[in-house]
C-alpha cells in the first residue's frame, strides 16, 4: 500500500521519473508478495503518459503487456474495465 500511495502523490506532483520508479516498485511488490488492492487498471494510464513525456516510449509495450497479462489473470473483460 505504501508504494501505491507514493506513486499517487508523485503523479499528483508531476514528478514523472520518480512516479514511474514507484510504479515499478509497486508492480514488483504486488507480483512477489501479493497485494489484494493492486489494480493497475487505475495507474498504468499515469505511467504511460509519464513515459511519453519522459521520451521513454520504448518502455510502453512492457507496461501494456503487464496490464493485459494482469487483466487476463484476474478474468477481467472489456466490459468490467474502468471507463478511463
pLDDT digits (tens, 9 = 90+) for 10-57: 999 999 999 999 999 999 999 898 877 788 888 999 999 999 999 999
Q: Give the distance, in angstroms, between the CA of residue 38 and the centroid of all CA atoms in the same chain.
A: 9
**pTM for the whole structure:** 0.83
**Contact call for residues 42 and 61 (beta carbons, < 8 A):** no
Arithmetic mean of pLDDT, 54-73? 94
Query: pLDDT band at residue 81, thresholds of 50, 70 and 90?
Result: low
Q: Per the structure block, which three cell numbers stand in for 5?
A: 500511495
The Cα 34–Cα 1 span in angstroms is 11
Give the pLDDT band (50/70/90) at residue 84: low
**What residue spans define the domains of the chain?**
2-78
Amino acid at each position: 500500500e505504501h508504494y501505491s500511495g507514493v506513486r499517487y502523490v508523485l503523479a499528483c506532483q508531476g514528478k514523472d521519473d520518480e512516479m514511474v520508479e514507484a510504479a515499478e516498485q509497486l508492480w514488483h511488490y504486488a507480483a512477489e508478495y501479493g497485494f489484494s488492492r493492486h489494480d493497475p487498471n487505475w495507474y498504468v494510464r499515469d505511467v504511460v503518459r509519464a513515459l511519453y513525456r519522459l521520451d521513454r516510449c520504448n518502455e510502453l509495450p512492457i507496461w501494456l503487456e503487464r496490464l493485459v497479462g494482469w487483466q487476463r489473470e484476474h478474468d477481467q473483460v472489456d466490459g468490467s474495465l474502468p471507463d478511463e
